[in-house]
Chain A
């Protein structure tokens, strides 16, 4: 076949595809005329973890964080699917310690799944994204907050719906800038995650004109979570630990929920506590009720008997992203969906008062973040006055020039 013939053939193929798309688009608008059914399998990969007992007795022990949110997304997608002739199927798998992530992934891939929600630590997430079979798949990170994944270790088949630590820290720092609570006392836990959160806090402090006047590591052994007379000890410990110079707010980095809850009302000086506990930045929270969130929360709570977590919301976002892209493109192909998701046409309503979209340089979903207290919403960032040439949402987290990722849409 000569080159020109090949070109003609390609052209014909394109024309066919376009008319097919138009035809499908036409079908969408007729609704009841739809009979063809497009099946769209989605899988969630997590791992078995030791049960986490929250410090607060009020907080439930949750073993399906993420999965429950995905289920709500699947149910929403299928309601739409009734009208568009698409059906979304969902599988959730928890990988056992002795199992290999790659094997479980390969099995699902061989069964035809190309769309994955991943609730795994960063290194396992990257292991999956780099597998040869994953080339024709699309992965949504709903668990790993690592900034590294958004600045250096990006992958063309990987999107992130969970906010990065930098986004959370920036959201809090903007609110504290509005409050002019500029002098921070930083208390950091013993885990690498806590140190990573503290790094994000330091970066945010610099960006928004704050000063960390004192930093201390929390070194007390956590011990059992449920105790009798525990308060006597914590009262003494925190009072002594916080005898430092003056500051405006104590910022705590305790992602594992080991001690942060102990700090409020026990500091030596009468100062508020924020960070991973107290005044906390979050993608989602039980205290959020604006922009139609009430109905969304109620639907979830009726089904699950608990409030929605950040991870549930991130899973819901991933499933709804797939649903929205599948509706608009009438496709279940990962590459077609990805192309649409990263295009300017894509936007998603997510109970945040403005559309959420994806950053095309690192695959991070941009979204407003909530500034919450345990019982009520305090604010929503970005704060007024923090401007940006493209989207004020890009004042949260690593912006395009700060990230060395720019390859997302190139292959």
Chain B
């Protein structure tokens, strides 16, 4: 397995550099076109960004306080948790109009789509439930009782498990998606925000915003293999607050957004050590890869922008101004 050691990195850098020069000369038309969608909690809108030119294409008004967003499997609909409107809005990607709403229970914050795209799983902080919504019949199917203030939701690649985190109970709840029962709980550090599976489904990573750690949980044993800690010179540990997590498709690199520390940590998944901290905008929460995983987009709540990270060079290349308090981000191929 290739590690992120500096020798490897410079070698990789050389290849990437030559390759990107080549790609550049091959003209832009051939490159993969993709679009980035960003929700802005304060401005009640979705900013649509062209992934190649990094230009803002549209700003689409939606309901009150849009936070978590997810793309349907066919890429035709963007589901938006409009928290203060107490429902989920379905935004048609083609027309950029809200076509219908889905029931969600009060104050939906974060949602995730099941492996087949039929069911949406929504965290309802107010009543300690995970709500399951059928996107076809547009009905609430069931609710699953979890800990206090459910938040993060990760679905295993095989679609069998939903890991939900509860912010005040400080647990990752393992929900069997066949029986819809909680079959296990792992205690993690304070205020767990995000659960993210590795591509091979062997691990689930859980970020603890107030605890300041990321717990790497082994799925087979349901034990914490390691609690990743973060250290940034000159910065007090209280402001290092991990939230968003993304693991690369090849499973080698993980990125963790560190909130008010205004950094994204790059982690070597083999050693589970932090390799680098990338300076991004203020209060960075959520992350999304481009389809080719050459770029990463971050939502920076306080500086009202999106940072674009060059994943091969591990450099921040640009920031894009979006609506106020950007929150969620997804990329559509």
Query: Is there an interface contact between B185 and A79, defined as CB atoms closer than 8 Å?
Result: no
Contacts of A355 in B (CB 8 A): 190, 210-212, 238
Residue of chain B at shortest CB distance from A368 = B238
Interchain CA distance A46-B272 in the complex, whole Å? 50
Interchain CA distance A383-B238 in the complex, whole Å? 15
Interface presence of A379 (CB below 8 A): no
Shortest Cβ distance from residue A173 to the other chain B in the assembled complex, whole angstroms: 22
Which residues 273-315 of A sit at the B interface, judged by CB distance below 8 A?
Answer: 292, 294-296, 298-299
Residue of B147, B190, B260 contacting most chain A CB atoms (<10 Å): B190
**Total B residues in contact with A, Cβ cutoff 8 Å:** 35
Interface presence of B236 (CB below 8 A): yes
Query: Is there an interface contact between B147 and A79, defined as CB atoms closer than 8 Å?
Result: yes
Query: Is there an interface contact between B210 and A354, defined as CB atoms closer than 8 Å?
Result: yes
Interface presence of B96 (CB below 8 A): no
Interface presence of A30 (CB below 8 A): yes
Residue of chain B at shortest CB distance from A355 = B210
Interchain CA distance A83-B166 in the complex, whole Å? 12
The one of B126, B147, B224 in contact with A80, judged by C-beta atoms closer than 8 angstroms, is B147
Contacts of B222 in A (CB 8 A): 29-30
Query: Is there an interface contact between A29 and B211, defined as CB atoms closer than 8 Å?
Result: no
Query: Is there an interface contact between A354 and B239, defined as CB atoms closer than 8 Å?
Result: yes
A-B CB contacts (within 8 Å), total count:
90
Interface presence of B97 (CB below 8 A): no
Query: Is there an interface contact between B185 and A349, defined as CB atoms closer than 8 Å?
Result: no
Interface presence of B167 (CB below 8 A): yes
Contacts of B190 in A (CB 8 A): 347-349, 355
Interchain CA distance A79-B186 in the complex, whole Å? 14
Interface presence of A391 (CB below 8 A): yes
Residue of chain B at shortest CB distance from A295 = B125
Interface presence of A156 (CB below 8 A): no
Query: Is there an interface contact between A295 and B238, defined as CB atoms closer than 8 Å?
Result: no
Query: Is there an interface contact between A292 and B167, defined as CB atoms closer than 8 Å?
Result: yes
Given known A-B contacts A76-B148, A80-B147, A295-B126, A29 and B187 have beta carbons under 8 A apart? yes
Shortest Cβ distance from residue A224 to the other chain B in the assembled complex, whole angstroms: 41
Query: Is there an interface contact between A349 and B184, defined as CB atoms closer than 8 Å?
Result: no
The one of B128, B169, B185, B210 in contact with A347, judged by C-beta atoms closer than 8 angstroms, is B210
Contacts of B210 in A (CB 8 A): 347-349, 354-355
Task: Bin the interface of chain A by size.
Answer: 20 to 34
Which residues 74-133 of B sit at the A interface, judged by CB distance below 8 A?
Answer: 107, 125-126, 128
Interface presence of B223 (CB below 8 A): yes
Interface presence of A392 (CB below 8 A): yes
Which residues 151-177 of A sit at the B interface, judged by CB distance below 8 A?
Answer: none
Which residues 177-225 of B sit at the A interface, judged by CB distance below 8 A?
Answer: 182-187, 189-191, 209-212, 222-224
Contacts of A28 in B (CB 8 A): 185, 187
Query: Is there an interface contact between A327 and B211, defined as CB atoms closer than 8 Å?
Result: no
Interchain CA distance A355-B167 in the complex, whole Å? 13
Residue of chain A at shortest CB distance from B188 = A29
Chain B 215-243 interface mask (CB, 8 Å, partner A; 1/0): 00000001110000000000010110100
Query: Is there an interface contact between A32 and B149, defined as CB atoms closer than 8 Å?
Result: no
The one of A84, A327, A349, A392 in contact with B236, judged by C-beta atoms closer than 8 angstroms, is A392
Query: Is there an interface contact between A295 and B236, defined as CB atoms closer than 8 Å?
Result: no
Contacts of B125 in A (CB 8 A): 292, 295
Residue of B184, B191, B210, B260 contacting most chain A CB atoms (<10 Å): B210
Interface presence of B156 (CB below 8 A): no
Query: Is there an interface contact between B185 and A83, defined as CB atoms closer than 8 Å?
Result: yes
Given known A-B contacts A79-B169, A80-B147, A391 and B191 have beta carbons under 8 A apart? no
Shortest Cβ distance from residue A29 to the other chain B in the assembled complex, whole angstroms: 5
Contacts of A209 in B (CB 8 A): none
Residue of chain A at shortest CB distance from B125 = A295
Interchain CA distance A79-B148 in the complex, whole Å? 7
Residue of chain B at shortest CB distance from A302 = B126
Query: Is there an interface contact between B211 and A391, defined as CB atoms closer than 8 Å?
Result: no
Interface presence of A31 (CB below 8 A): yes
Interface presence of B171 (CB below 8 A): yes
Given known A-B contacts A80-B170, A355-B211, A32 and B182 have beta carbons under 8 A apart? yes
Which residues 133-190 of B sit at the A interface, judged by CB distance below 8 A?
Answer: 147-149, 167-171, 173-174, 182-187, 189-190
Query: Is there an interface contact between B169 and A80, defined as CB atoms closer than 8 Å?
Result: yes
Interchain CA distance A324-B211 in the complex, whole Å? 12
Given known A-B contacts A80-B169, A347-B190, A347-B211, A295 and B147 have beta carbons under 8 A apart? no
Contacts of A324 in B (CB 8 A): 170
Contacts of A294 in B (CB 8 A): 107
Shortest Cβ distance from residue A211 to the other chain B in the assembled complex, whole angstroms: 31
Contacts of A328 in B (CB 8 A): 187
Residue of chain A at shortest CB distance from B260 = A353
Query: Is there an interface contact between A292 and B169, defined as CB atoms closer than 8 Å?
Result: no
Query: Is there an interface contact between B191 and A349, defined as CB atoms closer than 8 Å?
Result: yes
Chain B 254-279 interface mask (CB, 8 Å, partner A; 1/0): 00000010000000000000000000
Query: Is there an interface contact between A29 and B236, defined as CB atoms closer than 8 Å?
Result: no
Shortest Cβ distance from residue B287 to the other chain A in the assembled complex, whole angstroms: 20
Contacts of A76 in B (CB 8 A): 148, 168-169
Interchain CA distance A68-B128 in the complex, whole Å? 19
Additional pairs, 11, CB under 8 Å, beyond known A79-B169, A355-B212, A391-B236: A28-B187, A29-B222, A31-B183, A79-B168, A83-B169, A84-B187, A292-B149, A292-B191, A391-B238, A392-B238, A393-B238
> Would you list the 5 A-B pairs with minimal beta carbon distance, nearest first?
A31-B185, A349-B191, A349-B210, A295-B125, A349-B190
| Chain B contact residues, CB within 8 Å of chain A | 107, 125-126, 128, 147-149, 167-171, 173-174, 182-187, 189-191, 209-212, 222-224, 236, 238-239, 241, 260
14 contacts between A and B (CB under 8 A): A32-B184, A79-B169, A80-B147, A83-B147, A83-B171, A84-B185, A292-B191, A295-B107, A347-B189, A347-B210, A349-B209, A354-B210, A355-B238, A391-B238
